[in-house]
């Protein structure tokens, strides 16, 4: 399958409503299930899985108003020919245009870290993107101290699990990682 952008992947127009995004996601998710009649004879199991991941990724971005905004901006900046997911270097900042602090600095394609996600793997992903903790703290209003605890796996020094989830999700989103998968995986180690 040629690389589709998130809207194309879900068969949506760029002005799609949240309800349309939900419906489209469920439609395509069931279309690419392993036993789905429409695709099992066209794709092998690995191809189906890749497409499912792509669709999931598109959905995660588009259903979150904040991420969607950032994504829309990056689409507008993107050259007309769609590109494969970008490597980890940060995208050059447009010179004069002021950007809201929440804007993720990197490419829109969300990455998944290998499991289990640890404080150390988060730090490495962040450093690859050349993002400082201070930058994340400024954008997310999470104290630098807590971000350091997350990277150091000092779970006991962090507040309740629900807060950690929120912190990790925001951290992940800022450096272009899939927020849900990152937080789910990180929290597994917090609880045990």
Partner 1 sequence: MSELAQRAPSRPRRQIWSIGGGKGGIGKSLLTAALGWQLARMGKRVILVDADLGGANLHTCMGLRSPERTLGDFIRRRFERIEDVLVETGVPLLRLISGASDFLGAANIKYQQKVRVLNRIRSLEVDVVLLDLGAGTSYNIVDFFLISDVGLLTVVPEPTSIENAYRFIKSALYRRLRNAARNEEVRQLVEAALDAKNPQGIRTPLDLLRVVEQRHPEEAALFKHEVATFRPSFVVNQVREDVDAAIGHQLVAACARHLGVHSTYVGFVHYDEAVWRSVRQRRLFIADAPRARAAEDVARLARVLLQGETLPLPW
Interface with partner 1 (CB under 8 A): 1, 4, 11-12, 16, 19-20, 23-24, 27-28, 30-31, 36-43
In angstroms, give the least distance from the CB of 142 to partner 1: 36
| 26 or 99: CB nearest partner 1 | 26
| 38 or 152: CB nearest partner 1 | 38
State the maximum Cα–Cα separation within the chain, in Å, rounded to a whole number.
52
| 36 or 88: CB nearest partner 1 | 36
| Rg of the chain, C-alpha, whole Å | 18
In angstroms, give the least distance from the CB of 37 to partner 1: 5
In angstroms, give the least distance from the CB of 6 to partner 1: 15
For the chain, the helix, strand and coil percentages under 3-state DSSP, each to the nearest 5: 55, 0, 45
| 23 or 189: CB nearest partner 1 | 23
Q: Say if CB 105 and CB 86 are below 8 A apart.
A: no
In angstroms, give the least distance from the CB of 61 to partner 1: 17
| 38 or 161: CB nearest partner 1 | 38
- Give the 3-state secondary structure of residue 36: coil
In angstroms, give the least distance from the CB of 57 to partner 1: 16
CA dist., res. 134 & res. 191, Å (int):
27
In angstroms, give the least distance from the CB of 17 to partner 1: 9
| 27 or 163: CB nearest partner 1 | 27
CA dist., res. 115 & res. 104, Å (int):
23
| Residues 6+ away with beta carbon under 8 Å from 175 | 104, 106, 125, 126, 129, 131, 136
End-to-end CA distance of the chain: 40
Please report how many Cα atoms fall inside a 13 Å half-sphere around the Cα of residue 11, on the Cβ side.
10
């Amino acid at each position: 399958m040629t690389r589709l952008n998130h809207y194309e992947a879900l068969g949506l127009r760029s002005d799609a409503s949240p309800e349309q995004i939900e419906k489209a996601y469920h439609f395509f998710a069931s279309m690419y299930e392993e036993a789905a009649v429409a695709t099992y004879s066209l794709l092998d199991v690995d191809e189906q899985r890749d497409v499912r991941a792509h669709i999931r990724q598109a959905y995660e971005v588009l259903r979150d108003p904040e991420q969607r905004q950032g994504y829309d901006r990056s689409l507008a900046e993107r050259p007309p020919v769609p590109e494969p997911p970008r490597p980890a270097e940060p995208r050059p900042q447009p010179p004069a245009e002021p950007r809201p602090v929440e804007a993720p600095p990197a490419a829109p394609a969300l990455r998944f870290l290998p499991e289990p996600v640890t404080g150390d793997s988060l730090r490495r992903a962040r450093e690859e993107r050349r993002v400082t903790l201070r930058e994340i703290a400024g954008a997310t209003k999470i104290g630098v101290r807590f971000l350091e605890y997350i990277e150091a796996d000092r779970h006991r020094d962090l507040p309740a699990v629900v807060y950690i989830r929120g912190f990790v999700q925001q951290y992940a989103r800022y450096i272009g990682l899939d927020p849900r998968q990152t937080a789910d995986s990180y929290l597994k180690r917090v609880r045990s």
